[in-house]
Amino acid sequence: MPGRIKAVVAHGGGPTAVINASLAGLARGVRASGGLLFGAPGGIPALLAGRFADLSMHGDSLWDEIALAPGSALGSSRQALLDGDCERIVEQFRRQEIRCFFYTGGNGSMGTALRVERCARAAGYELQVIGIPKTIDNDLLETDHSPGYGSTARFFACAARDAGQDNRSLPSPICVLEVLGRNAGWIAAATAMARHNEDDAPHLILLPEHRVSLETIAAAAERVYRRLGRVFIAVCEGQRDEQGQPFGADLDRPGSPAHELASNLGHTLARALTAKLGLRARAEKPGLVGRSCGLFVSVADRQAAHLCGLAAAGAAANGATGVMTALRREGSQPYAASTFLTPLERVAGRERLLPAEFAAASGLDVTPAFLDYLHPLTGPVEPWSQLPGVP
């Protein structure tokens, strides 16, 4: 950033447990390069209204605390840009002499950042636009992982381990754990970290990249049940059946495709399995608790989030625009990453599904290669001790 440039940061989409670490890294980086950082509280509406809060006066001790808090201290929104909105945002930037725009989010938000960048260029307004990756879904291309994913993965891996331990103590024939994630199976896959012995939960991991019929799930569940007297199934809220239909999930806002899968799939699947197999089933759905849980934050994930924010400030100081900061893995034990810049075009609106080499041939489990990828991001999910000689 040549000179004392004024920058604005905003967030798009759902918060994570480490998005505030990215904000803290950015704030530190902008200050280090002599810039002024403003925030758009609540995202898009504040950008449209030019309602910016000065974040430059906060010191390190506040940023240290903020970096530990889950949720977004700056707020966020899911509001879509309508015709003319980009122009209004650029106009607000022009009025307040904002020359740099940082936008934290997933692939949809990177699309928004790209639109703002193009709009500024078309209007002849010199504006740097830099994306900061953030999504629990881990479905951003280019980056080794998306900050937020490691912490959510850790939550659901521990949830599967602990609920699996509970279920082993007092077997319930079928236990379904609904996890976050719509199209990409990264979070469902992460529950595999819960396993340390052959019979540990989860016994079936459904991946949304693999459509699967109720019959197939029921047959696989029954095989496990006959062997162990219990079966623990991890499934994400976006799982679809062999016809590509949502798994009987209720609609929490009828007619809204964005929300049609959000609500109740695990429970519906549990009931369908009970009807099919005559076995009692229950389902748990931690839901947003899984992306907001401060106690489950992965240290590696928080550090990577901080790094992405810091690198975004550095990129701005170097005059970059139209890019997103991304992570390159430099080491796995412990996790070490460097950052690089990738064009927004490469990530905007594009989705990284779980690659084929990470899914077992059955479509109902993951591969060791996936666990090698994931382990450094979550840190260890240690087994609990068992009593020897007790079945």
Binders of a copy of itself among 72-91, rule CB under 8 A? 72-78
Q: How far is CA 252 from CA 81, 244, 255, 265, in A?
A: 23, 19, 9, 11
Q: In the complex, what is the shortest distance from the CB of residue 254 to a copy of itself, in angstroms, rounded to a whole number? A: 9
List strands edge to edge, sheet with 231-236: 174-179, 231-236, 204-205
Return the residues of window 236-265 that contact a copy of itself according to CB under 8 A.
250, 252-253, 259, 262-264
Nearer to a copy of itself among residue 1 and residue 265 (C-beta): 265
According to CB under 8 A, which one of 10, 129, 189, 293 is a site residue for a copy of itself?
A: 293
* Biggest CA pair distance of the chain: 75
98 to 137, contacts with a copy of itself by CB under 8 A? Answer: none
How many angstroms separate the CA atoms of 292 and 15, rounded?
A: 8
Does residue 386 interact with a copy of itself by CB under 8 A?
yes
Cβ neighbours of residue 293 closer than 8 Å, sequence gap 6 or more: 17, 70, 151, 155
Residue in 31, 99, 240, 267 binding a copy of itself, rule: CB under 8 A: 267
What is the rounded CA–CA span in Å between residue 32 and residue 324? 20
Cα distances from 386 to residues 99, 163, 200, 228, 389, in angstroms, run 59, 15, 12, 17, 9
Give the total of residues touching a copy of itself (CB under 8 A).
Answer: 71
Amino acid at 290: G
Contact status: 287 vs a copy of itself (CB under 8 A): yes
Could you say which residues in the range 296-335 bind a copy of itself, by CB under 8 A?
Answer: 296
Q: How far is the CB of 59 from a copy of itself (least distance, A)?
A: 11
Closer to a copy of itself at the Cβ: 53 or 80?
53
CB 142 within 8 A of CB 180: no
CA 314 vs CA 33, 346, 363: distances in Å: 8, 20, 42
Contact between 224 and a copy of itself (CB under 8 A)? no
137 is catalytic: yes
Does 196 interact with a copy of itself (rule: CB under 8 A)?
no
Cβ proximity to a copy of itself, 244 vs 278, nearer residue: 278
Structural tokens at position 22: 């990215």
Binding range to a copy of itself, per CB under 8 A, among 111-119, 238-246, 273-281, 353-361: 273-281
Site for a copy of itself in 145-174 (CB under 8 A): 158-159, 162-163, 165-170
Residue 315: strand, helix, or coil: helix
Q: Which of 50, 56, 58, 345 binds a copy of itself (CB under 8 A)?
A: 58
Catalytically annotated residue among 85, 137, 139, 144:
137
Residue whose pair of structure tokens reads 């759905």 in the numeric block: 285
Among 66, 123, 299, 336, binds a copy of itself (CB under 8 A): 66
Catalytic residues: 137
